[in-house]
Structure 1
Amino acid sequence: MGERPVIFSTHLLHPQVTAALEEIGRYRVAERPTPEAIARDSAGAQYIVVRAPIAPEIIARETGLRALVRHGAGLDMIPVDAATEAGIVVANVPGANAVTVAEHAIWSALALLRRYPQVHAGLRRDGWEAARRHSDAGRELAGRTIGIVGMGNIGRELARIAGQGFGMQVLSHTRSPDKVPDGVTACSLPDLLAASDVLVLACPLNDATRGLIGAAELAAMRPGSVLVNVSRGPVVVEEALLSALDSGHLAGAALDVFDRQPLPPDHPLLDRDTVILTPHMAGITEESMLRMGQGVVAEIRRLEAGERPDNLVNPDVWPRYAARRDVPKAQP
């Protein structure tokens, strides 16, 4: 029997997932999830479980690397083209945390409309009566219009919860308007911005979505509307968002992602009492961590058995990967 493969993870994983990976190979975790520690501690890995950005230099250095398996769906942390060129498989686990992120978006929208940030801060700073006064301007989610940018797994879960659970009118701006679920109206971005009380960004980060929501788009939103970003930070132009909040045009924003992560301690968003900030955790719960980890384990087991991953991101790599790994010709 050959030597067991080295499986490296950029972060700690669910205990059950850790145990399963330890059965497959020699499992280790980055000392810290920093670029420097990841680059150092990934040396000699055959599999990398990705929860933080992987530098192209790691791919160039690790000639024995077989696969990068994303613990989640988004691929902006992985240089897919470089991996494909090197004959390295890229796989992910789409949909495993869709309901988790959708619930976070709904919670965020509810909190913004009920002015939770102001109430929370006011109760501690100004007292009971001052905090209660914020409730006079609170609003209900039921019956309002939600606009969702992106209609992938997260967008569909969010549309289901918003429409069926809260009786909201659901609009979507998506690259595939012919595939929106029943009860969702596909529309252009300008129409969505003009009609939405709650705007939720649930799209991937790519050349088309980088800077998608800038000053003009924020100005086109309904006065008093709120924005929730559970996609990626660069989808929103942060300076323009700050201006829209400071002017009062937007009633609030809930941001789980940022241009720079971790968020710098002197970032101006930290001073705004109409903003809810979370540290890129919308998709993280005990349940979702287990589901995503189980998906990672399943894909690594398939690769160890010479099988093609169920969620192969770069299918063009398979013939080259199969030749490197001496996978039997019968495998697709």
Structure 2
Amino acid sequence: MRPGLLWPVAWPVPTPCPLPMRSTRCWAENHDSPRGSSMTGSDRRIRIWIDRTPPSEVVIPPDAELVDGPEDADGVVVAADRPWDDDACRRFPNLKVVARSGIGYDNVDVAACAAHGVAACNTPDAPTVSTAEHALALMLAVAKRLKGSEARLAAGTAGGPGRLAGPGALELDGRNLGLVGCGRIGSLLGRYAEALGMDVLVYDPYLEAAPVGELVDLDQLWAKADVVSLHAPATPETRHIINSDSLGAMRPGVIIINCARGALVDQEALLAALDSGHLGGAGLDVTEPEPLPPGHPLLGRDNVVVTPHVASTTSVGIVRLIAQAVEQALIWLRGGIPEHLLDPAAAHPGVDRRTSTAP
């Protein structure tokens, strides 16, 4: 199995992991953004709607205010669970920018927003540390069979000291980690894995040299990895990249980690590989659907750990996600061009809603 490019050019080209942003206060509080088109030509405050209650550490500057709903907002800060598309742009005529509090923007129709003069931007630096740490935690939890050990302890069947941790428990030192995608999160996880003594294999169609480990083709990665961790966007090309064929090409006992998007994994194929014993385990922060319903066959297994898409939302991470999204929105609404603008066509004078006189 050797697919071509696995994600589209529209996805930002992965880069080596930068140093994490340590400040959790909103950037716009202390900096002047570049000026361009006037937002409304009025002196009223910029109206921002955030789809969840922001932590107190997120500072809203004096020229902006929070509003109770998107219908009143100049800009919205949103997670991944609601579509922002042609219909949303029509329903909210005051809307001028959609800022994703995260790296993935598969719920935002970027082209449709740009056609309406609505900017779309994301925050690719914000979830890096929290998500990479979560992927590491899932990898260790599955490799060490922590879930089964705790279950036996709770059931009174753990036995005394020195008992086996559980069937298939691994030492990761000397094992191979395969990264499918090696941008910010993947490269940081690779550094963590190297600190554990693992060898890192990288498949990423955008890279000429790997920022960590060794660049290989996908067939080599499937054949050599003891753990496969997914760090690619959800696109038609990457949908179900983990499937019966790719699983069959992997080593017996391999562990699958997914903190990217649920669509990357064919869950029926995953279940079949678990049931056959070919797959050693899985750690999943993302699934289809989200969340998994009670009683789902992936739940309740000793060698599968599932979390409900929470990898990026540590106490510090959620501040960084929302603060950086607010920053991006305010730069646009003050007339500037945010660093992570996804389609510059939104600034075309014929459509740019910042020049609108709508109240």
Which of the five TM-score ranges fits, normalised by the shorter chain?
0.7 to 0.9
Query: Where does residue 255 of structure 1 map in the other structure?
Result: 284
Alignment coverage as a number of residue pairs: 312
Query: Where does residue 304 of structure 2 map in the other structure?
Result: 275
Question: Shift of the alpha carbon at 1:133?
Answer: 3.5
Cα deviations by residue, 1:75-134 (Å, 9 ceiling, x for unpaired)? 112111211111110111112221211111111111111111111211112433189644
Unaligned 5+ segments in structure 1 are: 30-40, 328-332
Q: Which amino acid in structure 1 is aligned with residue 191 of structure 2?
A: R
Maintained 8 Å contact 2:78/2:100: yes
The question of 1:209 aligning with 2:242 is answered no
Q: How many Å separate the matches in 2 of 1:294 and 1:191?
A: 40
3-state DSSP of counterpart to 2:57: helix
Q: How many Å separate the matches in 2 of 1:149 and 1:300?
A: 31
Query: Where does residue 44 of structure 1 map in the other structure?
Result: 72
Maintained 8 Å contact 1:224/1:250: yes
Query: Where does residue 34 of structure 1 map in the other structure?
Result: none
The question of 1:20 aligning with 2:60 is answered yes
3-state DSSP of counterpart to 2:251: coil
2:172 to 134, 141, 151: 141
2:150 to 116, 120, 137: 120
Maintained 8 Å contact 1:68/1:88: yes
Cα deviations by residue, 1:184-216 (Å, 9 ceiling, x for unpaired)? 211121210110011101111111101111011
Q: How many Å separate the matches in 2 of 1:216 and 1:64?
A: 48
Residues 101-250 of structure 1 mapped to structure 2, 5 A cutoff:
101-129=131-159, 133-135=163-165, 137-163=168-194, 165-181=195-211, 183-250=212-279
Higher helix share: 1
Among all aligned residue pairs of Structure 1 and Structure 2, give the percentage whose two residues are the same amino acid.
Answer: 34
Question: Shift of the alpha carbon at 1:12?
Answer: 2.4
Give every structure 1 segment of 4 or more consecutive aligned residues whose post-TM-superposition deviation is greater than 4 Å.
none
Question: Shift of the alpha carbon at 1:320?
Answer: 3.7
Q: How many Å separate the matches in 2 of 1:321 and 1:277?
A: 47
Q: How many Å separate the matches in 2 of 1:59 and 1:177?
A: 35
Maintained 8 Å contact 1:149/1:172: yes
Q: How many Å separate the matches in 1 of 2:125 and 2:160?
A: 42
Q: Which amino acid in structure 2 is aligned with residue 106 of structure 1?
A: L
Query: Where does residue 91 of structure 2 map in the other structure?
Result: 61
3-state DSSP of counterpart to 1:269: coil
Maintained 8 Å contact 2:180/2:202: yes
- TM-score, structure 1 length as denominator? 0.88
Q: How many Å separate the matches in 1 of 2:161 and 2:269?
A: 29
Q: How many Å separate the matches in 2 of 1:280 and 1:197?
A: 24
The verdict on how the C-alpha distance between 1:171 and 1:219 changes in structure 2, with shifts beyond 3 A counting, is: same
Question: Shift of the alpha carbon at 1:265?
Answer: 1.8
Unaligned 5+ segments in structure 2 are: 1-41
Maintained 8 Å contact 1:67/1:89: yes
Question: Shift of the alpha carbon at 1:135?
Answer: 1.5
